[in-house]
Amino acid sequence: MLTLHQRTEIIRETITERMKYTPQPGDLSFSELKNCPELLIWGFPEGTIFNIVTSYYLYLKQGYTAKDAICEIEALEENRGDIFPTNTLTEYVKYRLQKEHAPFVYLYSEELLHSFQNLIKRNLQIYECEVFEMDLQDSETLTKSTDTNTEQVNTPQDDSLTSKDIKIPLAIIISIIIGIPLFCYLDNVIKEKMEFKDIYSERTLVDFIHKYPNSKYDTDEICNSFLNTAIEGGIPALKVFITNFKDAGKFSEQYKQASLKLKDLCEQMFAKCLSINTIDCWDEFIQLKPPYLIGEAQKQRSQLKDELMMDKIHKVASHSECMSLLHSLDFEEKKYTPILKKKCVDLYVKDFLQKGEYASIAKLYSINKYDITSSTIVFINNMYYDLSVCYSGKVSAEIIVKAGKSFSLTIPNGSYQIVVVTKLKGSPSVYGYRDILDREEASPEDLLLQKIFVGSINVNGGLYKTTYPIPSPKNNVFKPSNTFNSNNYWPYNFRRIP
């Protein structure tokens, strides 16, 4: 008789067959099914089908007709002997499924049930014919050899220890010595066959080869099937195939074919991206993480990104547009921040040069020419407000000179356009969103207090100095006038706003 484990494995195989024939969203994965406990396996509809089919063939073996066998099974199932109105096993199985597993009857077509019957019958033959009949033959052979030995040792008549007394235990010992390895061998043969039939993925095939390196089964055909599937799946599937079969020496030829095909696909996709040359195409290629040409793809994408971003920056025509672009940079685009800040300052200064007339910047005095490789300008702020100094030229930036302080700036030699603006409390820098040139929206007080100095300088090396003076107020509070003096400084009788 079959053991519980053997019966369970047959049921597990029928469940696998059903999952392949009529897959369902709620099905277990093949690996989960393989590790499913025996008690749960018997609760599947396939457990009912197995019991019916095995009982049916057992009754047929005992001489029952098909109809009588079905009636006997029904009597055992229902504990009564009602006559079932059919002679076919398939219809009876569907009848039992309708009674015990009604929600799942639709999964089991007649074709699938016939396949189950053949599968169960074949496994019964494997277990009972190949193992137990062989065991019977071995026992009969050993019995005959024992009888022969017994006949040959009947001559001694004395009461002493005879050769018969020695040979009978010896025969038992020999049978044990021969029988145990034979049983182990047959058990391994059956296990190998069952595990070969359970191969359903690349990983299970590799595990099978590692466990049975000298297997007689045609594993190359299965590997070739997996290879063709991987080729159809493209770069991701081929990467998985190569990873799985990297250490499987038996399939070195398939591994080589997969590697060559993967390289060919990477080259084709790289050539396609070169012809299209879009960020999306390069991103798609890089996200696949191909083992070939990924470094070159990243380089091409970086160059394209630089070209597109520089073209976008070049087309910016206003300070506000430049500010919007600066504040919209993502993490990857942060490297363009210095370029955009220079562009913002250039447009900021340009706007002042194009809008109206402002006071001229303070005179620049040359102090010495000790170092003519670069120019150093010392800004001295004697005013009661911080000064925003924006310079545009070979380099462009904004510096803040605190009230009553000085600031030393070193720049390359050349021509620069300068805008100096008094910074009121709360006013943004040149990199902020507020446009200081919007005179229509500015309050009268802002217009009155804001000082703007515009001009150009040409520095050719050495040390320079420029000063922005304002008289010291005697009181802390004043009522501002609506007029300025001719030098764009506070009148001497003005008092500072706190």
Is the pLDDT reported for residue 378 higher than 90? yes
> Is the separation of the CB atoms in 326 and 340 below 8 Å?
yes
The CA-based angle 413-421-493, given to 5 degrees, is: 130
For 216-225, 259-268, 483-492, which range has the lowest pLDDT when averaged over its residues? 483-492
CATH 2.60.40.1120 maps onto the chain at 351-469
State the Cα–Cα distance between residues 45 and 322, nearest whole angstrom. 70
Conformation bin of residue 287: beta by default, left when phi > 0, alpha when psi is -120 to 50: alpha
Q: What is the mean pLDDT of residues 436-459?
A: 66
Conformation bin of residue 441: beta by default, left when phi > 0, alpha when psi is -120 to 50: alpha
The pLDDT of residue 375: 93
Q: What is the mean pLDDT of residues 334-356?
A: 85
Q: What is the mean pLDDT of residues 401-422?
A: 91
Residue 396's pLDDT band, with cuts at 50, 70 and 90, is: very high
> What one-character-per-residue DSSP string does 395-440 give?
S-EEEEE-TT-EEEEEE-SEEEEEEEEEE-TT---TTSS--TT-TT
CATH assignment of 351-469, among 2.60.40.1120, 2.170.190.11, 3.40.50.880, 3.40.50.1100: 2.60.40.1120
Q: What is the mean pLDDT of residues 163-185?
A: 52
pLDDT per residue as tens digits for the range 85-143 = 566 888 888 888 888 888 887 888 888 888 888 888 777 766 654 433 433 344 344 33
> Is the separation of the CB atoms in 250 and 219 below 8 Å?
yes
Q: 13-36 burial, b if ≥16 CB within 10 A, otherwise e?
A: bbbbebbeeeeeeeebeeeebeeb
Structure tokens at 3: 């053991």
For 270-274, 332-336, 414-418, which range has the lowest pLDDT when averaged over its residues? 332-336
pTM score: 0.45
Residue 498's pLDDT band, with cuts at 50, 70 and 90, is: very low
Which is nearest to 43 in space by CA: 12, 1, 20?
12
State the Cα–Cα distance between residues 371 and 379, nearest whole angstrom. 18
The pLDDT of residue 157: 46
Is the pLDDT reported for residue 483 higher than 80? no
State the Cα–Cα distance between residues 277 and 304, nearest whole angstrom. 8
The pLDDT of residue 186: 58
The pLDDT of residue 441: 52
Is the pLDDT reported for residue 431 higher than 70? no
The pLDDT of residue 148: 44
pLDDT per residue as tens digits for the range 28-43 = 777 778 877 777 788 8
pLDDT per residue as tens digits for the range 143-173 = 344 344 444 434 444 444 454 444 445 555 5
Distances (CA, A) of 124 to 9, 13, 91, 121, 131: 12, 13, 22, 5, 11
Q: What is the mean pLDDT of residues 59-86?
A: 72
The pLDDT of residue 170: 52
Mean pLDDT of the chain: 75
The pLDDT of residue 150: 40
Which is nearest to 230 in space by CA: 194, 201, 209?
201
Residue 442's pLDDT band, with cuts at 50, 70 and 90, is: low
Please name every residue paired with 459 in a beta bridge, in sequence order, or none if there are none.
414
> Would you give the DSSP letter of residue 184?
H
- % of the chain beyond a pLDDT of 90: 10
Structure tokens at 136: 């019977």
The pLDDT of residue 145: 42
